[in-house]
Amino acid sequence: MSVLDTIGLSLMRMFDAETAHGLAITALKTGLANASPTRADPSLEVEAFGLTFPNPVGLAAGFDKDAEVPDAILRLGFGFAEVGTVTPLAQPGNPTPRMFRLTADRAVINRLGFNNQGHAAALARLRARPKTGIVGVNIGANKDSSDKIADYELGVSAFADLASYLTVNVSSPNTPGLRGLQDRGALEELLGRVLAARAEASAQPPVLLKIAPDLDDEALADIAQVVLGAGIDGVIVSNTTISRPALKSPERHEQGGLSGAPLFELSTQILAKFYLATEGRIPLIGVGGVDCGSAAWEKLRAGASLVQIYSGMVYEGPRLARMIGQHLSQQLERSGFDTLSDITGTGAKEWAEA
């Protein structure tokens, strides 16, 4: 167990959520939270978007916004890390406080608003790192940008030759107008221009789209059609929700996107619906409320090829990726299936109707 594990979690709770997050990044940077490598279990390997993932558990975007610690993340046992969201220009985000732990609900609300150091800073760090392990780059648009799609094009050309994959994030609730890019016409234009930028870039990594959980059946069907028509490589379901299921914590009235345990059901149902709408023809990453192995297993059953976590780490600490991996290995053995891909979508109908 790492130092961060033993003293970390209770100590972290003494700080507000954003300060605790900063301390976690520092601990990872300094090696304080680094775990010793364990042997990879080959049965957990997943092939998706032309990449071979050593295991299906990834770190979701927003934790390492400026690509400061992707390799330390991978050493914690994650099969992949997604850095960002990065925008072309550095921007401060919204006024603080803007990130809240809802401890009684095992949830987080954030309205950070894409605070990040901009493309140049992330680029310099990614250039300096060893080119091993799967590190995706999540790209977005500056708050004040007059042509938001142009910001995504810039992201594609900037990171194409350094990113294992690129995520087009149109689903953060904290940048005004961003989620409108999920509307059919806007999405067609966005994906068309993004894929054209990729074709002209120096390398052609897979391009994924990250969607919100706050979409009705009609909007999901539209996105499914556009995504299949455009020929992008995968979809991440989902970002945080602006809805508020029943919550106990006093911070429940804070504005922003809700993540963690209360997002699990909604995001898994949307995942299953999207899997059915795309007939399993495009790999999906399931995100939202995964905080244990059985939650990750359910994401696979609902239609995910891979999963990502963020809020679960806030409550379970950095050992979570390993714990989930171990559970998936045991569960796979018990299931009688050979690979995790055999599990993908086997419970989609059940989840879609839940």
List contacts with ligand FMN (CB under 6 A): 60-62, 65, 85, 99, 108, 110, 112, 138, 169, 172, 210, 239-240, 259-260, 263, 287-290, 309-312
Two structure tokens written together for 239:
């970002």
Of 263 and 304, the one with the shorter C-beta distance to ligand FMN is 263
Q: How many angstroms separate the CA atoms of 203 and 208, rounded?
A: 15
Q: How many angstroms separate the CA atoms of 301 and 257, rounded?
A: 25
The CB-of-192 to ligand FMN minimum distance in angstroms stands at 21
The CB-of-110 to ligand FMN minimum distance in angstroms stands at 4
Q: Are β-strands 234-237 and 284-287 bridged in parallel, bridged antiparallel, or unpaired?
A: parallel
In the DSSP assignment, the letter for residue 216 is -
Of 54 and 288, the one with the shorter C-beta distance to ligand FMN is 288
The CB-of-7 to ligand FMN minimum distance in angstroms stands at 22
E strand or H helix that includes residue 139 = strand 135-139
Of 125 and 339, the one with the shorter C-beta distance to ligand FMN is 125
- 317: left (phi > 0), else alpha (psi -120 to 50), else beta? left
Angstrom distances, CA of residue 350 to CA of 260, 287, 346: 22, 18, 9
The CB-of-322 to ligand FMN minimum distance in angstroms stands at 16
Of 3 and 15, the one with the shorter C-beta distance to ligand FMN is 15
CA-wise closest residue to 229 among 272, 188, 189 = 188
Of 23 and 43, the one with the shorter C-beta distance to ligand FMN is 23
The CB-of-310 to ligand FMN minimum distance in angstroms stands at 3
The CB-of-42 to ligand FMN minimum distance in angstroms stands at 26
Contact 84, 68 (CB under 8 A): no
What number of other Cβ atoms are within 10 A of residue 7's Cβ?
11
The catalytic site residues sit at 172
Of 34 and 171, the one with the shorter C-beta distance to ligand FMN is 171
CA-wise closest residue to 265 among 172, 354, 173 = 354
Q: How many angstroms separate the CA atoms of 177 and 160, rounded?
A: 25
Contact 99, 128 (CB under 8 A): no
Residue 19 makes CB contacts below 8 A (sequence gap 6+) with: none
Rg value, the chain, Cα: 19
